[in-house]
Structure 1
């Protein structure tokens, strides 16, 4: 099976999404140089016609839509872009959108983890359509200011976000490093104002350390995002902790909005032997299954921390670990993003992102709009959330979820100690 690349970003940290990227993911025929305005509109219509997950096209007469938009006269690419955005909006799908060339370039830049702005993952609430924070990025201006998951952005520089398209919101929030943006936040019934200075943001995919506990040395690994370098860094972290003879692990996926699915698949393989990870189902009900490569780096007890900011690729990994009985999940219910999008580049440098499939956990769970419920639920107060994000008290004695993860890991270790030892891989075998 060919491994395809997925990632969970739209431009400027907008919506948590799993994506297939690359012209070959749908059709190479549209990757032609500089189509005219009318041709561009027709290309987008045909890509949606062939690949969009909902065959009813949101109960639209899709052929009539083509006649309407392709039948118009266009004197510029800008007019075509507006028409495409109107056509896409008819699908009523917040995850299907059109990127003009500049926005698509920014999207490609973000895949590699090079970000600029205030560091927010945003999504439109599925019910209220409110502009909602999925998670602030670690050490970003938004995190340092104390913006939290589930905060609702009601104003941007004094302008109401009610009815605002998420791409329009992003354009207003983004900007040159050093400039400022003012966000008005609704948190519960409290209105808050944050004046943020935009910055260039570097994502450090993996950090790790050891900690001595009453049941021995354990390894803690923090994964804030599934970037291109995350698998290699995770590999190094696990092997380094194995050399230090840790007894078990805590993997922290809280406020991890996702990233490359390719990275998620590789990281899943580091924790599990041959086993299913995820299944994708398209409009024709064709199912594509992904499995681990059967070369795990460790079989030691594992506890995974998740919360409402754990989304997309994070949910794929957490769901696979939970369904296969490989890990205990601790925290709060995850974001709930079970749709797959494809990005199709177009000849003029623009691109169309469209929903092409749903994904399911190994046990066939559809987590879209539902999320994954941890095995052990541990909630946090707003003050605790703020301390974790703003004061960087993650994985300390002041972190109730981490404390519960440690106690849960202790239970797993005691249960393992009471079980007769089975032959397993040595570190030398793994390195070879």
Structure 2
């Protein structure tokens, strides 16, 4: 199977009642799909074969993968449900929360609708690799979860009163999923505090980019907030930059806070809008084959740039911010990013189910492996929990004088604009 960039997922990744940002391209049905519909055991073997061929770690995280095959193919599977349970059990041996099986219903729900319309509470959920607890990657802006005050790194301990201890991410998704207008209650551990959030499920239309022209001491600047690297993110970003360039802004603040990632190709295309030249990202598979993505001399602006990041900035956000930082194109302001440096491919299986497989690691232009480590901003500014809550309960404050990290970014940007003018005056 040939995986193109459009089939590579960088989201941090199980999306609750939304979708992993992946398009139909890159999702390939196996040739023997009719056969697999009739033979659950062959579906188990198909999943094993995909992992065997493409998993990023040739040691399979120190698991004897051939012995695993022998074990699972010696079993009988009277029904597809039992085969699905076996596949999930088999994949757990890899100890990789990002490599996961989805039954047909789950697979259908995780494919993005190109209109950007999602249904649910608006959180991205993953299993913490160390603690195995269900962890919020980031709440999606202007959704029930974000409005209620759910934060990145929150641990979900109960769903409608049911403990999540030992719960699979897919099982959690099934419990949280439901019809718009219905309610689900999440119990969350945040540090020493236990918080309860009754959330009403909703249908959400998401536009990944919003932008505005704002005043500053050095003149007007462009503010662009990118919420997700979805299929239409690059087009909306290009439109935003071109519109602000026509308004002759003096510099930009790009806000990637609480952006959990999405499509690899979207992060590359957006990086090319800011970078004239230089490497953007390199990916390395288990054979050590390195593919480098570079800028293509088609930057839409060369004006000063400051990027806002935080602990909810994951994956594709880290590719973009890492590329801009390593190429000295932008100053990063905020707090350390999430730390996910793995790439998944997603493919459909013969019976309508799907499989996400970690196939590569990615590195920043200077060769930094940010998995677990994250990216440290050039200017660190922590916000208090009260300040974060104030921004979440009143989204209009984000990107305003009431937003402490934005205020710091504006200060840094004004310094860059002034320095650039000074250099030009000396020439």
Deviation at 1:19, TM superposition (A): 7.3
Range with greater deviation from structure 2 (267-276 or 412-421) = 412-421
Q: Give the deviation of 1:50 after TM superposition.
A: 0.9
SS of the equivalent of 2:68 reads helix
Q: Aligned with 1:365: secondary structure?
A: coil
1:187-202 matched pairs, under 5 angstroms: 187-202=190-205
Match of residue 312 from structure 2: 309
Counterpart residue number, 1:151: 154
* 3-state SS in 2 of match to 1:12: strand
* CA distance in structure 2 between the partners assigned to 1:126 and 1:30 by the alignment: 34
Corresponding position: 1:396 with 2:397? no
Determine if contact 2:254/2:307 at 8 Å carries over to the other structure.
Answer: yes
Indicate which of 199, 215, 218 corresponds to 1:212. 215
Work out whether 1:249 is the aligned partner of 2:252: yes
Q: Show the counterpart of 1:64.
A: 67
User: Could you say which residue in structure 1 is the equivalent of 2:87?
Assistant: 84
Structure 1 CA distance, aligned partners of 2:72 and 2:83? Answer: 9
3-state SS in 2 of match to 1:232: helix
Aligned mate of 1:288, from 286, 291, 311: 291
The Cα of 1:113 is off from its aligned counterpart by 2.8
Unaligned runs of 5+ in 1: 424-432
Uncovered stretches (5+) of structure 2, i.e. residues with no partner: none
* Superposition map of 1:43-122 within 5 A: 43-109=46-112, 113-122=116-125
Q: What is the Cα-based RMSD across aligned positions, in Å?
A: 2.3
Contact (CA 8 Å) 2:13, 2:98: kept in 1 or not? no
> Runs of 4 or more off by more than 6 Å in structure 1?
14-21
Alignment of 1:322-361 (within 5 A): 322-361=325-364
Please identify, of 140-149 and 108-117, the stretch whose mean Cα deviation from structure 2 is larger. 108-117
CA–CA distance in structure 1, aligned partners of residues 176 and 188 of structure 2: 13
Superposed CA deviations along residues 93-152 of structure 1, whole A, max 9, x for unmatched, are 111110111110111136763311110112222322221222111110011111112221
Matched, 1:164 2:167: yes
For residue 201 of structure 1, report the CA deviation from its aligned partner: 1.4
Report what 2:422 is aligned to: 418
Normalised to the residue count of structure 2, the TM-score between the two structures is: 0.93
CA contact (8 A) 1:271 1:299 kept: yes
Contact 2:19 2:110 in 1 (8 A): no
* 1:40-94 deviation per Cα after TM superposition (whole angstroms, max 9, x unaligned): 1111111111111121223222112111111222222112111111111111111
- Counterpart Cα distance in 1 of 2:26 and 2:247: 44
Answer whether contact 2:183 2:199 (CA < 8 A) is retained. Answer: yes
SS of 2:411's equivalent?
Answer: helix
Kept in 2: contact 1:275–1:294 (CA 8 A): no
Cα contact 2:18–2:120 (8 A) shared by 1: no
Match of 1:266 among 259, 265, 269: 269
For residues 368-419 of structure 1, the C-alpha deviation after alignment (integer angstroms, 9 at most, x for no partner) is 0010000000000001011111211211111110000000001101110111
* Residues 13/110 of structure 1: CA separation in 2 closer, same or farther (3 Å cut): farther
Instruction: Write the distance in 2 (CA, Å) between the matches of 1:279 and 1:4.
Output: 16
Equivalent pair of 1:11/1:106 in contact (CA under 8 Å) = no
- The CA distance in 2 between the partners of 1:305 and 1:355, in whole Å, is 28
